[in-house]
Amino acid sequence: MIMSTRVDFQPVFLLTSKAWRENSLRIEVFSRDYGRVSLLARSARTRGSELRGVLVPFVPISASWHGKEELKTLHRAEWIGGWAQPKNRQLFSALYLNELMLKLTAPEDPNPILYQQFYQTQQAIVSEQQHTTALRHFEWNLLKSSGLTPDTQKDEQHQPICAQDYYFIQPEHNPQKVVQHYQNPLGVTVSGSLLQALDTQTLNTQDSQNQALALTRLLINHYLPEGASSRQILQQLNDIKKHNKNSAKD
């Protein structure tokens, strides 16, 4: 896709930011209409910068940028409201989502539906006491949008998935019908009803959530062998704490 030279007031989420030269930031955002975009926020780290208090993760912001190259120039950003910043366990979940987005979405690949799902999941993380169901649904949606999920309509013999049957799932293969649930280190066995629940966003039982966790972990670990790095998460936590501390001093 060829990006337009100027984009104004685009809803985005900040996924990550890194120091750039003396006082700027290079940031990655996931936007509603342009997918994942790399932006240069000039002078964003200088005292008094209008961008400094706005470029925060986990809440929707409005961003405006220009440029035709891979790295665009951010020239305006505004906080557009939403919810409080996540804390404690919520923060780990929010960071985990950001990391998945960075690793499993293609640059400048528009996906408004995925943006809305990401929006709803980040909101659920801070507003729902138990947000694991929202996480499982989003993991599946993200994997599916990236073409990394097995067929949930037919098995490897091209027969319709039946809710009462069990299926052995391996990455890069369609479901293989099995006689009963069994353990295998090369894959996981799930029910046909679980595959249907993932597609209809109806993980209503603890058993379905447990099966969904096993399935999404299998796929994520296969396509991202390094997984969701704890070291990166801790570093981001430290960066956020440092940013908040410096902002409080100014």
pLDDT tens by residue, 102-133 = 999 999 999 999 999 999 999 999 998 889 99
Q: Which amino acid is at 174?
A: N
Domains in the chain with CATH codes: 6-83 (2.40.50.140)
Nearest to 160 by CA among 211, 202, 196, 190: 196
Helix H or strand E encompassing 17: strand 6-20
Q: Where are the beta strands (DSSP E) in 55-200?
A: 61-66, 71-79, 166-169, 176-178, 188-191
> What distance in Å separates the CA atoms of residue 35 and residue 188, rounded to the nearest whole number?
32
Q: What is the pLDDT of residue 186?
A: 87
> What distance in Å separates the CA atoms of residue 217 and residue 143, rounded to the nearest whole number?
11
- Which three-class secondary structure state does DSSP give residue 199? helix
DSSP class of 228: S
> What distance in Å separates the CA atoms of residue 202 and residue 11, rounded to the nearest whole number?
28
Residue 43 has φ and ψ, to the nearest 5°, of: 60, 20
> What distance in Å separates the CA atoms of residue 174 and residue 166, rounded to the nearest whole number?
13
Average pLDDT rounded to a whole number, residues 203-210: 93
- Percentage of the chain modeled with pLDDT above 90: 73
Nearest to 85 by CA among 51, 50, 58, 53: 58
Helix H or strand E encompassing 232: helix 230-249
> What distance in Å separates the CA atoms of residue 27 and residue 190, rounded to the nearest whole number?
39
Q: What is the pLDDT of residue 225?
A: 82
Band the pLDDT of 47: cuts 50, 70, 90: confident
Q: What is the pLDDT of residue 233?
A: 58
CA dihedral over 212, 184, 96, 18, signed as positive or negative: negative
